[in-house]
Amino acid sequence: MFYGLLKRGLIGPAVHVVFRPQAVGVEHIPESGPVLLVANHQSFSDSIFMPLLTPRPVKFLAKAEYFTGVGIKGRLSAGFFKGVGSVPIDRSGARAADAALKTALRLLDQGQIVGLYPEGTRSLDGRLYKGRTGAARIALTAGCPVVPCAISGTEKVQPTGKMMPKVHPVTVVFGPPLDFSRYTGALWDTVQDTENEHTVLRAVTDEIMNTLMDMTGREYVDRYASDVKKDKDKDKGDRAPAAPAEALETADSAED
């Protein structure tokens, strides 16, 4: 109910009036049944514009911390993420991937749309980065339609690290469902938990990312975005001046 209120009665109308976002290819989204929606990821606002322009509710998997904050900020955060269709996932611990997989499969089994960003994190520079294989595993296990989604303009609306949005045109393009039937069924059952499993998952993931590359026109980088971020953070740390001993001791205490 809150999703509909947020989409049609609160944020949705205001976003449509101010930003006038455009949706293309909505006919490619099945009117009913499970759908895995896979999109490029450039901005926090992707999770606002994409569900607003999708004709059916979209469920995202989000960090559980977004739902458990305290005070006014915590309640606003929880309300927002619930409103845009996010489902809390505990991403700590070794079994975090299993929890995400089971939750996504449960939602798909209920006939819902699950939205995923195969890159795993936002792009630093607008380029398209190597996809994680989680989306492929979900797609093959669920055997559901996989609809590619190309989002453009959100990196101008809200660049990474910026809180206040800017008015800029946004377009969300939905492509025809991808056909992975050649991998599903007996073949997928046979390769699971074997040395060939990763080969199949990587092939499906690369096909998803190649489709998104064609749809977005973005340069593709054959590295994980998270690894690039780590390298850049390390470079910044190497270039930073040494901190006074007192500051280092305080920081170490805070970490403990």
Instruction: Spell out the per-residue pLDDT of the chain, length 256, in tens.
Output: 445 555 665 677 888 888 899 999 999 999 999 999 999 999 988 988 999 999 999 998 776 666 777 787 677 767 767 666 677 776 555 566 788 889 899 999 999 999 999 998 899 899 999 999 999 999 999 999 999 999 999 999 988 777 788 999 999 999 999 999 999 888 999 999 999 999 999 999 999 999 999 999 999 999 999 999 898 888 776 665 544 333 323 333 333 4
| CATH number listed for the domain at residues 2-255 | 3.40.1130
pLDDT confidence of residue 87: 76
Rounded distance between C-alpha atoms, residue 215 and residue 164, angstroms: 28
pLDDT confidence of residue 97: 75
Q: Please identify which residue in the block is written with the tokens 């280092």.
A: 248
pLDDT confidence of residue 47: 86
pLDDT confidence of residue 91: 59
pLDDT confidence of residue 243: 41
Angle between helices 134-142 and 96-109 (to 10 degrees): 40
What are the structure tokens assigned to 103, written together? Answer: 């939750």
Cross-strand partners of 89? 63
Rounded distance between C-alpha atoms, residue 228 and residue 187, angstroms: 34
Let me know: does 178 contact 66? Beta carbons within 8 Å: no
pLDDT confidence of residue 232: 84
Rounded distance between C-alpha atoms, residue 123 and residue 115, angstroms: 17
Q: What is the DSSP string of 168-179?
A: ---EEEEPPPB-
Let me know: does 208 contact 136? Beta carbons within 8 Å: yes
Enclosing H/E stretch for 244: none
Which sign, positive or negative, has the C-alpha torsion 88, 79, 12, 154?
negative
pLDDT confidence of residue 84: 66
